[in-house]
C-alpha cells in the first residue's frame, strides 16, 4: 500500500525547485517593496511667520482686515491635522515695541501684549523661534526670564543666552531637519550686555554640527535682513530653506535662488505662510508655497480667546457708525464702550465705466477715521453728476466731496492738508486720493500710452505682457533746461536717446530692442541687442546729435502735461490712468474690456 503522503523522487525535485523559485520571488518582492518604501516621496509642511510684532488682533485695514492669533491657531490646528509632518516656525520680531510696531503704546502695555503673544505661541506649539533685535526691546533680563519660563524653543547661533540653542533637530519618518537661528547685530544696540558674534562664522559652525548629526535638510531662520541673508547663503553653502526676517520686501512670498528656497513671511501675521516640501531619498525634490488669508471666515479658537484681552487700545474697538474706547486695556476685564459717531456726509462722483476706478478702498479708509461716514454716489455721465462737476470745478474723477460738518471731527486738523475748501464742502486732493479719469481730455478709443523706465526690474515682464496691445511708449525722463534727468542717471538718459532714435529709423526693431535691453539693462553692451552694424552706426550718430534730444522731448511731452513722474503708469483711451504692476491677467482684463 502506497502512503498517500509519500512523494516520489522526480516529484520531490520538482516541488523543491518550485519552492525555491517562490522563495526567491518573495525575497525579490520584499527587496523591491523595501526600496520603494525608502524612495517613496514624503511631504513635510512648513508653516511660518515673522515680523508679527505681537499683532494679536486682526488689522483694521480698509482692504482685507486679516490676521489675529485666534484665527491663526484655528488654521494651524486644521493644517497640522491634514499633515502631521508639519513644522511651525518664526523668523523673529514677535515682541511688541520698537520702531516697527505701529501699535506700540507704552512699556507696560507693550510688555503685557508681548506676554499674551508668547502664551499664544505656546498654545500654537511653535517648534522653533529665531531671536531678532526686537526681542531685546525690554532688555536682556526680560527676555531671559520669559525664555526660562516658556515651553517654546528659541534658536540663535550667534548670541550667548541661557536656554537659547544655536540649532535644533526635528525628525519625520527618519528624515532629520536641522533648524538654525541667526540674530542681527542691532540686538547689541538694544542690550549692551548681550554678546552677538559674527553671523557667518556662527552659521558655519552650526552647519558643521548638523553634518555630524547627519541632518538631511537644513532650515535657516535669519533676522539679518534679506540683503545680508542672500549674501550669506552665497558665501556659505548648505542651506536648503531660508526664512527671512527683519524685512518688508513686497516681492513674491517665495523664490528659488540656486539650491535654496527663500521664504518671506507675511507682515504682522495677516496671512499664514505655508511651504510644502516634497522629499525623496531625504532630499527636497520639489516645493510649493502659498499665503493663506486669516480672514473673518476663519473662526477664533476658544483657547486663545480665553487669554486674549478684548482690547489694548481704542484702535482695537471698532464698530461701524460708532466711536469705540477701550476700558481697562490689556487685562482680561478689558471691554469696548461705543458711542454713536457724528454723521459726516461723503459724496463720491465716479465714471459709470472705468476699469481703474476703485473707490471702495479709499471709502473704507475714511470710515476708519470718520466712523459716522454716510456715503452717497453719483455716476458720470449723468445730469446730477454734471451739475456737481461744474459746481466744484472738477477736472478728474473719482471725486470725493465731504460736508462742512467734518470740521467738528477730532481728526479734522490732521486731514485738512489733504482737502481743499470749495463752496460749502471740502474736496479731497488728487495727491491724497489718486486719480483714474480725466474729464477734459478727448476720448480716443483704443489709444494706449505706457510710461516706463527700462531700469525698472518689472519692465521685462511688463513689455512681454503689453506688446500685443501695441502701446505708445513714453520714457520716464525729465527735461532740465537743455539736459535730461532720469532715476537711473546718465546711463538711463543715454539709453532713452538711443531708443527714440531707433523708433524713428528702425520702428520694426524697436520692441525687440526694448525687450532685449530691459533683460540686461545694466550691461554697457547695448549693441548686442542690435546686431546689424549699419543700424548701430546710425543709432550712435543719432543719439549724439541734437535730433535725439528733440525726439526725446517729443516723447516725454505727455509726461509733462500729466505730471507723470513714476511708473509703470498706463493711460487708456486718453482718459483712464492708473499705476503699479498688475498681474498679466489683471492688465489684460483692463486692456481687453
Q: What is the DSSP letter of 301?
A: P
Long-range contacts of 165-168 (CB under 8 A, 24+ apart): 166/202, 166/205, 166/206, 166/209, 167/206, 167/209, 167/210, 168/127, 168/128
Q: What is the pLDDT, as a whole number, of residue 3?
A: 40
Is the same domain home to 91 and 178?
Answer: yes
- CATH number for the domain that contains residue 68: 3.60.21.10
Long-range contacts of 525-532 (CB under 8 A, 24+ apart): 526/495, 526/498, 530/502
Is the same domain home to 402 and 479?
Answer: no
Domain boundary among 438, 468, 484: 438
Q: In sequence order, what are the beta bridge partners of 469?
A: none
Domain hosting 313: range is: 309-340
Evaluate whether residue 257 is within a structural domain. yes
Is the same domain home to 201 and 299?
Answer: yes
Is the same domain home to 433 and 475?
Answer: no
pLDDT digits (tens, 9 = 90+) for 68-127: 999 999 999 999 999 999 999 999 999 999 888 989 999 999 999 999 999 999 999 999
Give the separation between CA 190 and CA 170, rounded to whole angstroms. Answer: 31
Q: Do residues 161 and 135 make contact, with C-beta atoms less than 8 angstroms apart?
A: no
Q: The cell 531619498 sits on which residue?
A: 281
Average pLDDT, the chain: 89
Q: What is the pLDDT, as a whole number, of residue 434?
A: 84
Q: What is the pLDDT, as a whole number, of residue 81?
A: 95
- Walking along the chain (593 residues) 10 residues at a time, the average pLDDT comes out as 39 46 46 45 94 94 88 96 96 94 94 96 97 94 91 96 95 96 92 90 97 97 92 95 77 85 94 96 94 95 96 91 93 96 95 84 88 94 95 95 94 92 94 89 92 91 87 94 89 96 96 94 92 94 96 96 91 89 71 64
Is the same domain home to 178 and 188?
Answer: yes
Q: What is the pLDDT, as a whole number, of residue 584?
A: 66
Evaluate whether residue 94 is within a structural domain. yes
Is the same domain home to 408 and 521?
Answer: no
Evaluate whether residue 364 is within a structural domain. yes
Is the same domain home to 431 and 485?
Answer: no
Give the separation between CA 254 and CA 247, rounded to whole angstroms. Answer: 13
Q: What is the pLDDT, as a whole number, of residue 303?
A: 95
For the chain, how many structural domains are there in total? 4
Is the same domain home to 467 and 560?
Answer: yes
**434 CB-near residues (< 8 Å, 6+ apart):** 362
Evaluate whether residue 36 is within a structural domain. no
Evaluate whether residue 18 is within a structural domain. no
Q: What is the pLDDT, as a whole number, of residue 252?
A: 73
Domain boundary among 370, 403, 438: 438
Q: What is the pLDDT, as a whole number, of residue 37?
A: 43
Q: What is the pLDDT, as a whole number, of residue 83?
A: 94
Evaluate whether residue 135 is within a structural domain. yes
Evaluate whether residue 7 is within a structural domain. no
Phi first, then psi, for residue 253 (nearest 5°) are -65, -15
Evaluate whether residue 221 is within a structural domain. yes
Is the same domain home to 427 and 561?
Answer: no
Is the same domain home to 286 and 176?
Answer: yes
Domain boundary among 297, 324, 340: 340
Helix, strand, coil percentages in the chain from 3-state DSSP, rounded to 5: 40, 25, 35
Is the same domain home to 279 and 323?
Answer: no
- CATH number for the domain that contains residue 521: 3.40.30.10
**Beta-strand pair 254-257/175-182:** unpaired
Q: What is the pLDDT, as a whole number, of residue 9?
A: 46
Packing angle, helices 140-149 and 107-124, rounded to 10: 30
Q: What is the pLDDT, as a whole number, of residue 251?
A: 57
Q: What is the pLDDT, as a whole number, of residue 8?
A: 42
56 cis-preceded (ω within 30 degrees of 0): no
Is the same domain home to 221 and 241?
Answer: yes
Q: What is the DSSP letter of 438?
A: E
Amino acid at each position: 500500500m502506497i502512503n498517500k503522503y509519500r512523494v516520489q523522487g522526480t516529484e520531490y525535485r520538482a516541488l523543491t525547485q518550485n519552492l525555491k523559485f517562490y522563495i526567491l520571488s518573495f525575497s525579490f518582492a520584499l527587496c523591491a517593496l523595501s526600496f520603494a518604501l525608502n524612495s517613496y516621496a514624503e511631504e513635510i509642511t512648513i508653516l511660518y511667520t515673522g515680523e508679527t510684532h505681537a499683532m494679536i488682533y486682526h488689522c483694521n485695514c480698509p482692504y482685507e482686515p486679516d490676521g489675529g492669533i485666534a484665527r491663526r491657531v484655528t488654521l494651524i490646528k486644521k493644517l497640522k491635522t491634514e499633515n502631521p509632518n508639519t513644522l511651525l516656525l518664526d523668523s523673529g520680531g514677535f515682541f511688541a515695541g520698537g520702531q516697527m510696531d505701529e501699535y506700540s503704546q507704552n512699556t507696560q502695555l507693550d510688555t503685557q501684549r508681548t506676554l499674551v503673544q508668547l502664551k499664544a505661541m505656546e498654545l500654537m506649539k511653535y517648534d522653533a523661534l529665531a531671536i531678532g533685535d526686537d526681542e531685546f526691546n525690554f532688555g536682556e533680563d526680560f527676555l531671559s526670564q520669559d525664555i526660562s519660563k516658556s515651553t517654546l524653543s528659541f534658536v540663535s547661533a550667534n548670541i550667548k543666552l541661557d536656554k537659547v540653542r544655536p540649532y535644533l533637530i526635528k525628525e519625520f519618518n527618519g528624515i532629520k531637519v536641522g533648524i538654525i537661528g541667526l540674530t542681527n547685530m542691532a540686538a547689541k544696540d538694544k542690550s549692551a550686555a548681550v554678546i552677538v558674534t559674527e553671523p557667518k562664522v556662527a552659521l558655519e559652525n552650526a552647519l558643521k554640527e548638523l553634518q555630524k548629526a547627519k541632518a538631511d535638510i537644513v532650515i535657516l531662520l535669519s533676522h539679518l535682513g534679506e540683503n545680508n541673508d542672500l549674501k550669506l547663503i552665497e558665501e556659505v553653502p548648505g542651506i536648503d530653506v531660508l526664512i527671512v526676517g527683519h524685512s518688508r520686501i513686497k516681492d513674491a512670498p517665495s523664490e528659488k535662488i540656486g539650491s535654496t528656497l527663500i521664504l518671506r513671511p507675511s507682515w504682522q501675521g495677516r496671512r499664514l505662510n505655508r511651504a510644502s516640501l516634497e522629499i525623496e531619498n531625504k532630499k527636497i525634490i520639489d516645493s510649493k508655497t502659498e499665503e493663506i488669508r486669516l480672514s473673518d471666515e476663519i473662526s477664533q479658537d476658544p483657547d486663545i480667546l480665553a487669554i486674549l484681552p478684548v482690547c489694548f487700545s481704542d484702535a482695537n474697538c471698532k464698530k461701524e457708525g460708532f466711536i469705540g474706547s477701550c476700558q481697562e486695556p490689556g487685562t482680561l476685564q478689558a471691554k469696548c464702550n461705543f458711542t454713536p459717531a457724528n454723521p459726516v456726509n461723503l459724496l463720491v462722483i465716479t465714471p459709470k465705466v472705468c476699469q481703474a476706478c476703485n473707490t471702495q478702498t479709499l471709502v473704507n479708509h475714511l470710515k476708519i477715521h470718520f466712523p459716522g461716514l454716510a456715503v452717497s454716489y453719483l455716476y458720470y455721465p449723468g445730469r446730477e453728476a454734471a451739475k456737481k462737476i461744474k459746481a466744484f470745478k472738477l477736472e478728474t474723477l473719482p471725486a470725493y466731496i465731504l460736508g462742512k460738518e467734518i470740521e467738528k471731527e477730532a481728526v479734522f486738523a490732521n486731514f485738512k492738508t489733504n482737502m481743499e475748501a470749495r463752496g460749502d464742502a471740502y474736496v479731497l486732493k488728487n495727491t491724497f486720493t489718486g486719480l483714474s479719469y480725466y474729464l477734459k481730455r478727448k476720448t480716443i478709443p483704443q489709444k494706449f500710452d505706457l510710461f516706463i523706465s527700462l531700469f525698472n526690474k518689472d519692465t521685462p515682464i511688463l513689455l512681454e505682457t503689453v506688446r500685443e496691445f501695441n502701446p505708445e511708449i513714453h520714457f520716464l525722463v525729465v527735461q532740465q533746461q537743455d539736459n535730461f534727468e532720469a532715476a537711473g542717471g546718465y546711463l538711463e538718459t543715454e539709453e532713452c536717446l538711443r531708443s527714440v532714435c531707433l523708433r524713428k529709423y528702425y520702428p520694426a526693431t524697436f520692441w525687440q530692442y526694448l525687450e532685449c535691453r530691459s533683460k540686461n539693462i545694466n550691461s554697457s553692451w547695448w549693441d548686442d541687442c542690435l546686431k546689424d552694424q549699419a543700424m548701430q552706426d546710425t543709432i550712435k550718430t543719432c543719439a549724439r546729435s541734437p535730433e535725439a534730444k528733440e525726439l526725446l522731448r517729443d516723447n516725454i511731452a505727455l509726461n509733462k502735461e500729466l505730471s507723470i513722474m513714476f511708473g509703470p503708469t498706463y493711460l487708456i483711451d486718453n482718459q483712464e490712468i492708473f499705476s503699479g504692476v498688475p498681474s498679466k491677467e489683471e492688465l489684460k482684463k483692463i486692456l481687453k474690456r
